[in-house]
Amino acid sequence: MGKKMTYYDSIAQQYKKSKQLPFRLHIEAYTYFHLVGNLVGKSLLDLACGEGFYTRQFKLQGAARVIGVEISEKMIELARQEEAREPQDIEYILGDVLELDKIDSFDLVVASYLLNYAQTREQLLKMCQSIFVNLRPGGRFVTINNNDSQPPQSYLTTEKYGFIKSTDSPLIEGTPIQYTCTIPGSDQKFRFNNYYLSAATYEWAFQSVGFKEVRWQKPIVSPQGVEEFGQEFWQDFLNCVPIVGIECLK
Ligand SMILES: C[S@@+](CC[C@H](N)C(=O)[O-])C[C@H]1O[C@@H](n2cnc3c(N)ncnc32)[C@H](O)[C@@H]1O
């Protein structure tokens, strides 16, 4: 797979810093690991692995073999720097999931915030095919994704968590949804786009490639997050969830 300039090359450092926002740890990661389950001895393919934030944690949690695939050269450079600093035997591959063939049959394929980069149903289908072909029978796909079913009227309610979404036009298939994120401990902001595709289109793509079961998981707050910030603090997030977990069984 050839090298491509991608938008994440320009925001790689900022995105990495945004992983320190409390909602990342107490909701995003907590929900993600809840779905991923016990990793001991498992093989795992992390698609759109970014700078390896989760990839490293999967290995630390006991996965036997972990491979990360990422389209942004800058993001994967950060992941490889971390691997060189503290080797964990993780392989990072520069590549586009839209052009990905079979690497192996994995117990798990995971991908946080990949599918929301599909701009058309055809691209979503292609991503799902790349996922499906890399899973063993009985294997699972787990993802955290933009929640396309969140009503735009509630987009500003997440400001206190360090990000908001916005859109210039009504949500139809392919509409860009802009995320504006604050870097923790600063006034600096950075932006990136996701793309709207309906939940029905997601269901169609999962079923078309052959997944037997699909389960949507509402985000959950960690007990530590409740203890530290109080239940009330998280209520706006939980009332109109901006992100969602999905689990598919092959
Ligand atoms: C929001 S970041 C998430 C990174 C990482 N999964 C995490 O949660 O920290 C989305 C990542 O998806 C990558 N990406 C987008 N489209 C991709 C594609 N077609 N193939 C591979 N990576 C892609 C971007 O470069 C970016 O690093």
User: Is the minimum distance from the CB of 9 to ligand 1 under 6 angstroms?
Assistant: no
State how far the Cα of 65 lies from the Cα of 89, in Å rounded to an integer.
8
Sign, Cα dihedral of 247, 172, 200, 155: positive
User: Is the minimum distance from the CB of 112 to ligand 1 under 6 angstroms?
Assistant: yes
Q: What is the pLDDT of residues 173-231, one digit of tens each?
A: 999 999 999 998 888 999 999 999 999 999 999 999 999 999 999 999 999 999 999 99
Q: Would you say the pTM of this structure is higher than 0.75?
A: yes
CATH architecture of residue range(s) 8-148+197-249: 3-Layer(aba) Sandwich (3.40)
The residue among 154, 153, 149, 193 whose CA lies nearest residue 175 is 193
User: Is the minimum distance from the CB of 13 to ligand 1 under 6 angstroms?
Assistant: no
Task: Using the atom order of ligand 1, give the atom closest to the CA of residue 48.
Answer: 22
Q: What is the pLDDT of residues 93-122, one digit of tens each?
A: 999 999 999 999 999 999 999 999 999 999
Task: Using the atom order of ligand 1, give the atom closest to the CA of residue 53.
Answer: 9
Task: Using the atom order of ligand 1, give the atom closest to the CA of residue 98.
Answer: 19
Q: How far is the CA of 114 from the centre of ligand 1 (A)?
A: 5
Sign, Cα dihedral of 144, 250, 204, 122: positive
Provide the residue ranges of all domains of the chain, joining segments of one domain with +: 8-148+197-249
